[in-house]
Amino acid sequence: MTFDQGPLVAYNSARMTGIAVQTLESYLADKRALVDRALDDFLPPAETPPSVIHEAMRYTVMAGGKRIRPILAVAAAEACGGVVEPLLRHFAALELIHTYSLVHDDLPALDNDDLRRGRKTAHVVYGEAMAILAGDALLTEAFSWLAAPVPLDPRRQLLAIKTVAIAVDSKGMIGGQVADIESERSQGRSDDRAKLAARLEFIHRNKTGRLLTASVLLGGILGGASDAQLDALREYGEAAGLAFQIVDDLLDLEETAETLGKTAGKDLAQGKLTYPSLHGVDAAREQVAALLEMARAAADRVGSGPSHLVAIADFICRRRS
Amino acid sequence: MTFDQGPLVAYNSARMTGIAVQTLESYLADKRALVDRALDDFLPPAETPPSVIHEAMRYTVMAGGKRIRPILAVAAAEACGGVVEPLLRHFAALELIHTYSLVHDDLPALDNDDLRRGRKTAHVVYGEAMAILAGDALLTEAFSWLAAPVPLDPRRQLLAIKTVAIAVDSKGMIGGQVADIESERSQGRSDDRAKLAARLEFIHRNKTGRLLTASVLLGGILGGASDAQLDALREYGEAAGLAFQIVDDLLDLEETAETLGKTAGKDLAQGKLTYPSLHGVDAAREQVAALLEMARAAADRVGSGPSHLVAIADFICRRRS
């Protein structure tokens, strides 16, 4: 993972974040190591019977990845003055949910992707049946982790579970994926630009945005946020989440399979509805910049001190891999 | 659904349950109607966008079924003196989990079943992608319902969520399904009878037993059970759950596709490991009777008054459809 002043968004990082690039990189590396350790500690060992599913779960989860969702939860909890250490398992549950969604999306019946993060996808290695069940198991495990005992007001923990669940349900993340599939199937059948734009926004806000927003909300709820802080975190998450997805569209357009480690240009080849394909690359870049400003304004309302939330939003919108 | 003095298990129902057959039938019908109403009330309406997934979710959940798991939760809560009405949504979540497991098990990559409860399975009607996502959505919705606010000690609710989650995780229900798939694949490669018997017990206890046990535990936990009552409920659930699965094996052996509404005799045709195929039909029937006695003894320890738990265990072991 490189931190690169790419052409996607032009702005002054130091001005926006107040945190030096090196500091953010260390922060991300530190938190990522914590998340990785929690994942390794709490996932069932690969040899637990029936071992094949535990191997498949670990294969997909431990394949790498930026761990952006748990790190967002950590940063949100810190911004609200929360103590993060006892919550790492709960925050790592976000990565299980993210991974389950990738495993199922990659299946032949869905996106039919053979490569992910430069490695063979779960169904290629373990077969379709085991990939389906491993995805199911990761989602289940996530709720088990979210319900794990922690010295907190249990009402907050219940709210946290509910918040995550509704973010990834049939009206949230899964709904976004369904709308995406439907959009591909009906491709070309509508030339109503306003309708296409509304559909695209629904897909983006739900497929990626809801879990990212739930990530900062989870950090806030378990980190002791006030209602006002939760409102600000929600605004931050929605803006950063939408920016993240538009950047993803831009990356797909610009990158090659070699640097991305997945079949790039695929969206375009499929004539898939994306932000740049609908609004153009320049408008997409401007939108990312505007969303980052919104995220910054919202993050400023979360806490008085400097937080890593802005720098992270900034970072995920300049990622090159 | 008929209530029939079938040949599977011979015993005196009145002696075992103390509740007349008609009373039990009314009880089951009443509770089933309550569960059906909760499912209808709380599942997103079919027209909620994206509508196709909400149609698919309702198609599978509202296809019928005995609602045994939620009813077991109701009976357990009542046996512990709990008030059931505010908990129906939480108990109905068990049916969502059961349905998700059926939808995914029926997929071409798994059991490849085209019929379920006499109707076309979800993937036949909605396609594989939507069946996978509808299953995911039902599982997610279940945890959302389990976390829904209720006037109870929130610590009990967290324990309830955790209890259900670990019952259906990769070491529980999903683990049982994985072991079942592995067993079919390795069929004939082991003639070590003790090993086969151990594997079969693992499959039965996990694939069906864990969710049934979690159902009575959920009722007990939310219904205010003491630790001693929860122990008794767990024993009851494990015995009844194992009996249920052995009866399922026996049914598959004895029934025709016409009465069952699914491809009967399939287990046998595939040379699948089942209790009667391993131990013989007579031993299987005796085992069911012995397990029912264990369930009765455990149920007696739950409450002082008569409960429907014994009658339900009895009922599910005499079911003919």
Q: Answer whether the bond into residue A50 is a cis peptide, omega within 30°.
A: yes
Contacts 24+ apart (CB under 8 A), B102-106: B102/B60, B103/B60, B103/B131, B103/B134, B103/B135, B103/B138, B104/A132, B104/A133, B104/A136, B104/B131, B104/B132, B104/B135, B105/B177, B106/B131
Spell out which residues of chain A touch residue B90, defining contact as CB-CB under 8 Å.
Answer: none
Per the listing, tokens 């599978």 go with B60
Domain range summary for chain B, segments of one domain joined by +:
13-316
* Alpha-carbon gap, residue B83 to B80, rounded angstroms: 9
Residue of chain B nearest A134, judged by CA positions: B170
Q: How confident is the model at residue A188 (pLDDT cuts 50, 70, 90)?
A: low
| pLDDT tens figures, A148-177 | 999 999 999 999 999 999 999 999 999 999
Tokens of A127: 């077969």
* Alpha-carbon gap, residue A297 to A292, rounded angstroms: 9
Mean pLDDT of B267-275: 68
Q: Answer whether the bond into residue A44 is a cis peptide, omega within 30°.
A: no
How does the average pLDDT of chain A come out, rounded? Answer: 88
CATH fold, domain B13-316, is Farnesyl Diphosphate Synthase (1.10.600)
Mean pLDDT of B268-273: 64
If you count DSSP H runs as helices and E runs as strands, how many of each does chain B have, helices first? Answer: 17, 2
Cβ contact A174–B109 (<8 Å): no
Mean pLDDT of A3-8: 35
Is the Cβ–Cβ distance between A1 and A319 less than 8 Å?
yes
* Alpha-carbon gap, residue B260 to A50, rounded angstroms: 31
Q: How confident is the model at residue B260 (pLDDT cuts 50, 70, 90)?
A: low
Contacts 24+ apart (CB under 8 A), B192-198: B193/B278, B196/B273, B196/B278, B197/B278, B197/B279
* Alpha-carbon gap, residue B84 to B77, rounded angstroms: 7
Contacts 24+ apart (CB under 8 A), A193-202: A193/A278, A196/A273, A196/A278, A197/A278, A197/A279, A199/A273, A200/A273, A200/A274, A200/A275, A200/A278, A202/A175, A202/A176, A202/B49
Spell out which residues of chain A touch residue B53, defining contact as CB-CB under 8 Å.
Answer: 170, 174-175, 178
Cβ contact A129–B110 (<8 Å): yes
Is the Cβ–Cβ distance between B74 and B91 less than 8 Å?
yes
Q: What is the per-residue DSSP string for B134-165?
A: HHHHHHHHHHHHHTS--SS-HHHHHHHHHHHH
Cβ atoms within 10 Å, residue A321: 13
Q: A34-43, A237-246, B2-11, B226-235: lowest mean pLDDT where?
A: B2-11
Spell out which residues of chain A touch residue B137, defining contact as CB-CB under 8 Å.
Answer: 169-170, 174
* Alpha-carbon gap, residue A206 to B103, rounded angstroms: 24
Q: What is the per-residue DSSP string for A24-87?
A: HHHHHHHHHHHHHHHHHHHSPPTTSSSHHHHHHHHHHHTT----HHHHHHHHHHHHTT---GGG
Per the listing, tokens 């198609």 go with B59
Residues with Cβ < 8 Å from B242, sequence gap 6 or more? B204, B205, B209, B291
- For residue A18, the 8-state DSSP code is S
pLDDT of A272 reads 74
Select the residue of A49, A157, A170 nearest B57 (Cβ to Cβ).
Answer: A170
Is the Cβ–Cβ distance between B211 and B98 less than 8 Å?
yes
Highest-confidence segment of B124-133, B175-184, B248-257? B124-133
Select the residue of B104, B147, B179 nearest A161 (Cβ to Cβ).
Answer: B147
Helices B88-105 and B210-222, packing angle to 10 deg:
170
* Alpha-carbon gap, residue A52 to A54, rounded angstroms: 6
Nearest in space to B310 (alpha carbons), one of B247, B239, B251 = B239
Q: How far is CA A142 from CA A88, B113, B168, in A?
A: 12, 29, 12
| pLDDT tens figures, B195-207 | 889 999 999 999 9
pLDDT of A185 reads 81
Is the Cβ–Cβ distance between B59 and B126 less than 8 Å?
yes
How does the average pLDDT of chain B come out, rounded? Answer: 88
What SS3 state is found at A115?
Answer: strand
Residues with Cβ < 8 Å from A125, sequence gap 6 or more? A56, A59
| pLDDT tens figures, A35-48 | 999 999 999 999 99
Number of CB pairs < 8 Å for A and B?
153
pLDDT of A7 reads 34
To probe the interface with B, which of A100, A102, A136, A184 has the most B CB atoms within 10 Å?
A: A136
What SS3 state is found at A11?
Answer: coil
Cβ contact A169–B110 (<8 Å): no
Tokens of A46: 């690969």
| pLDDT tens figures, A195-248 | 889 999 999 999 999 999 999 999 999 999 999 999 999 999 999 999 999 998
Q: What is the per-residue DSSP string for A159-210?
A: HHHHHHHHHTSTTTHHHHHHHHHHHHHTTTS---HHHHHHHHHHHHIIIIIH
Tokens of A315: 């970072």
Residue of chain B nearest A160, judged by CA positions: B147
Q: How far is CA B236 from CA B165, B174, B215, B313, in A?
A: 19, 22, 11, 9
* Alpha-carbon gap, residue B26 to B18, rounded angstroms: 15
| pLDDT tens figures, B75-128 | 999 999 999 999 999 999 999 999 999 999 999 999 999 999 889 999 999 999
Cβ contact A171–B129 (<8 Å): no
Residue of chain A nearest B152, judged by CA positions: A155
Spell out which residues of chain A touch residue B171, defining contact as CB-CB under 8 Å.
Answer: 44, 48-49
How far off is chain B from A117, nearest CA to CA, in Å? Answer: 22
| pLDDT tens figures, B139-173 | 999 999 999 999 999 999 999 999 999 999 999 99
Q: How confident is the model at residue B224 (pLDDT cuts 50, 70, 90)?
A: very high
Residue of chain A nearest B128, judged by CA positions: A109
- Residue B317: is its pLDDT beyond 70? yes
Spell out which residues of chain A touch residue B143, defining contact as CB-CB under 8 Å.
Answer: 143, 161, 165
Q: What is the per-residue DSSP string for B73-116?
A: HHHHHHHTT---GGGHHHHHHHHHHHHHHHHHHTSTTTT--SEE
Helices B128-146 and A154-167, packing angle to 10 deg:
160
Nearest in space to B296 (alpha carbons), one of B243, B249, B248 = B243
Select the residue of A129, A140, A182 nearest B50 (Cβ to Cβ).
Answer: A182
pLDDT of A14 reads 38
